[in-house]
Structure 1
Amino acid sequence: MHSGKEGQIHNNSRIRLLAEGNKMSVDRIEQLKSHGEVAELISAKTQSIFDQLVHKNYADCDHMFAVLLFIEWLGGVLTALLVSPTSWEGVSASAHIHVMLSIWLGMAIIILPIGLAWFYSGSMLTRQTIAVAQLLMTGLIIHLCGGRLETHFLVFGSLTFLAFYADWRVLVTATAITALDHIVRGLYLPFSVYGVTYPEPWRWVEHASWVLFADVFLIRKCVLDMREKWRTAEKQAQMELTNQIIEEQVIERTEQVKESEEKFRNLCSSVPTVIFESKADNSWEVIGLPWFQLTASPVEKAKEWWTLVIEADRKRTLDSWKVAVEEGKEWSQEFRIQTLSGVTKWIKAKAVPLTGKTDGKRKLIGTLEDVTDRKNAEDNNRRILLMNQRDDFMAMLANDLKNPIVGTNRILGLMTEGKLGKLEVEQEQILSKIVEGNNELLRMIQHIIAVYKYDRESDIQASEHASLTSLIRDCAKNFQQSADAKKVRIELDLSETSDMGIVGNCESIRVVIQNLLDNALKFMPAGGTIVLKAFRQGDLVMFKVNNTGSFIELDQRSKLFERPLTGEGEGTGYLPKVGLGLYMCRQIIDAHKGNISCESDNDGTTFTVSLPHDTSDETNFQPT
């Protein structure tokens, strides 16, 4: 609508900037801003982008209704063949005039709007024609169904689809057609619209009132959709204009670098995005006000910007930055910073090589954007999903699995103890196996409960001091009988020093060791060897579980520690059809601020776990 005006303003402003070039002073930029030319350009560009978004939405909806009208016409024909003869003439299945009516009248209704939708999509005439045709087709289908009450819901469905246009005028047209249709057919063909021969004279008012009631909410939705499109267009216009001005400044003013940099600073200070330029020592030079608003720190802090990055993201961010500077390529990272006021923020950083430099040193210029709201929204959505899954799943476990198994074990315990009658030896052995199976089911339930606990709470509960070597030795002892039965050797290579302490939940760490041992034994061929190794490495306590079992392919290794949402096909290697063991191990290790990984080759598979070292001499570990 304003594309000509926007183009004229854009061209005039761009010509003025290019003509003045490097001669433009800081005062001139401020003068342009004070006269409102930049604001006017943003407003015109916003209007242009908004018109494009709205027109695209109109065109997409036109195409959607073209298909929908054709489908409704086919549905009307089928209705006339299958429903109308029964609806209008009882059980008679003879050919009915409604068959011809649905074919030719329906085709007459849809032919014009379909043609307009494909050849004149996005126009007001097309939208209004489609609105009329949609409600006429709705009325035809109601007629073919003999005015059944259920088919009247199609009116509200049609209004909802029309609301996709986000144009309240379309809803007004559709409402008027609906009211007119009920008035006319209510007078001359009442059975076709109300399903009765003698309806009340003012029944059309009741139907129209319900339509108006729905219109109130649909019209409000249209208004809100338009406002959202305007906000989107405004943000996009600001970003496009900012990028355009930056590009013009960098390309057109390379001959006088000093003057260009001064103008660049003044121009960038008017936008909320932090813009920076790299230096030879990996430091940044930034604009004062946006940098302070983002980090709450002085501009001098940009010389050591990596100190603001939290420790968990610092190495990854700084390494990628150094690679980009050395190779002179684009850089893009998302990381967290902690401002001097103690607030943690998510930052999205982008940088590109700076052109026009002749000193041989690679420099990058880029932007910093606060994306904390988006990251928080993603985390909140994940938490809500996990909480809902946990609540439903835990309720099912509590009522349908755990209690019946516990009750069954109590009865079986009484039987094996002979309190319900003397049993034969074979019967006692069978009951013992049943109890063992029930206990295995209870352990599986406890694993699932632990998974949901660590999904919901990342903090370690009931922390205590323990020796990792003692935990490993105790778990290996418990698995020795199963290993002997399978003819598998368990070898221990444990550091006997006193500096193998950790802090955490001992039972949770025990579960990790037991799961890794159980997996190693499960996929180990007879005669193999499992090696458990524990040692110190810097500030970490490490332990490894190595076995000569099956080889794990690379694509399978990437899924080992993921949550098995569904069982896809048959399980292979370390990926059973259903299982939460390794996923639970990762959750537990993450909660203890550690790391777990897997390596595999033709010689075997090794799982490596690292945990923070506890400098305390205290230990509460008790073997089981």
Structure 2
Amino acid sequence: MHFGKKSQIHHHTSFRLCFEGSSVSVNRIEQLKLHSEVAELISSKTKSIFEALVQRNYADCDHMFAVLLIIEWLGGVLTAFLVSPTSWEGVSSNTHIHVMLSIWLGMAIIILPVGLAWFYSGKALTRQTIAVAQTLMTALIIHLCGGRLETHFLIFGSLTFLAFYADWRVLVTATVMTALDHIVRGVYLPFSVYGVTYPEPWRWVEHSSWVLFADVFLIRKCVLDMREKLRIAEKQAQMELTNQIIEEQVIERTEQVKQSEEKFRNLCSSVPTVIFESNADDGWEVIGLPWFQLTAAPIEKGKEWWTLVAESDRERTLDSWKQAVEKGSEWSQEFRIQTLSGVTKWIKAKAVPLTGKGDGKRQLIGTLEDVTDRKNAEENNRRILLMNQRDDFMAMLANDLKNPIVGANRILNLMAEGKLGKLETEQEQILTKIVEGNNELLRMIQHIISVYKYDRDSDIRASEHASVTSLIRDCAAKFQQHADAKKVKIELHLSESGDVGILGNSESLRVVIQNLLENALKYMPVGGTISLRAFRQGDRVMFEVNNSGSFIELDQRNKLFERPLTGEEDGSGYLPKVGLGLYMCRQIIDAHRGDIYCESDADGTTFTVSLPHVTSKETSFQPS
């Protein structure tokens, strides 16, 4: 619960004066004001709680009497049926008037108070109506029982039940109604109320006196109940006010603690370094929360800080630290650490001597700084420099080696064509072989440049829709003359449904197909068959190059797509001295998010390429 002046009270409770002299009277005035405001709040809250308690009691009693009146009505009907169900005139009988009276008069008595109890509970009108109805139902039951003296105890029971309201006005109403009932019926229907035809004239006074006697105690009980409710309300108000003040103080203290923690955290976070102090065992007493952010290790780990140092740097770093401690000299080192979260970081450590000790050792105090970003930047710069050097080398390779060979080929072609003089047949054959050798050398240089470019991912940036079947047909047509010369048959098994398209670089994929087809022809025996297949498999486009050439061992197949480190050939002929063709194919396929692999058995060798279909949800061509 909340109080209207709770913030003001809290301000007063936390207010303190620290002056002397006249401040005493000022403090007294403030205390009086505080007590007055607290008393006002308690009084207001007590009244609110008291009214709620009383109102809840009124409503509960209303509901109780609604049920009780219905039970009494049903009991009256049952009594009428049991005592005098019928009346006789000679041999004929009819329903006794008491039965009809119990049903209809009883219903008329209870219908209004029951309705008010359920729909207007807690109202003064409702409980006064219930008091009248309860008195009338008591009178009806006494009448149905023939005015028996025992049934008059129902009057005292009704008064006791009505005392549950703790409202003396309800008892007054019931008492007045009881007295009027005895007076009226005692005159006109004495048998109904007293059970005799000629009662004494003063009998209603006797009965009313007993009711008043009971009222004295019941009214006192009502007053005591109200006082008890008031006392409970006052205690509850004091408790709620105290709890509210305590809660506000707790909230304020908690907020102050949070603010202090936040200030301390911000202060520690604003310091980019870890502060440490040496101890007698060459360990560190770490100061500052950034230690955990740096190492992901508890502060106690600083006593064995060298266990976090990377093994390759540990001996060097620890030796230099021990020497600095022994000599009391400055210490500066850069080393790597392995954090408890598994991250490797570069650390720059600096320390200076602080105080001397009797054992010759000096205490050092220093800082640790995370320089991983700087080290990474230096490494990136070194790599960029290396890549620039490689670029320069490739430019030299393209210009200083490739261009002279191209120029020499032009001269050799002019000589072979006889434009520089007539040549003998043997001389023409020699020139032709020289030109072919130069072309092979140019192609080898081009392969080296292509592999470098694919490593850098610099020449396959734009993607386009490409038809695998069209590329295979073009490449097969290009190599058909070469195949005819070796009496090798090229068979095409291509899907004609148009669903073998991909998204990629056509020229790059053409290089792959040409390389695979060239290798198949190169190592194919005379009279063999090369089969080219293209088909759709799920969300992948597959194409295969199969020949009936030599068998490739498993250990050699595992090396086909690697960059060769030596110039030796393997037995299959698929790993030549330069051997960059298949490695370049793998680079191209990897850039297209595809896969390439080789299968070989006694019947031949098959190279299979798998690429994402053009309708795949993800982009199938993403240079890595």
Q: TM-score range by the shorter chain?
A: 0.3 to 0.5
Q: Which structure would you say has the larger RCO, counting Cα contacts within 8 Å and 6 or more residues apart?
A: 1
The higher radius of gyration belongs to 2
Q: Taking structure 1 as the reference length, what is the TM-score of the superposition?
A: 0.41
Q: Taking structure 2 as the reference length, what is the TM-score of the superposition?
A: 0.41
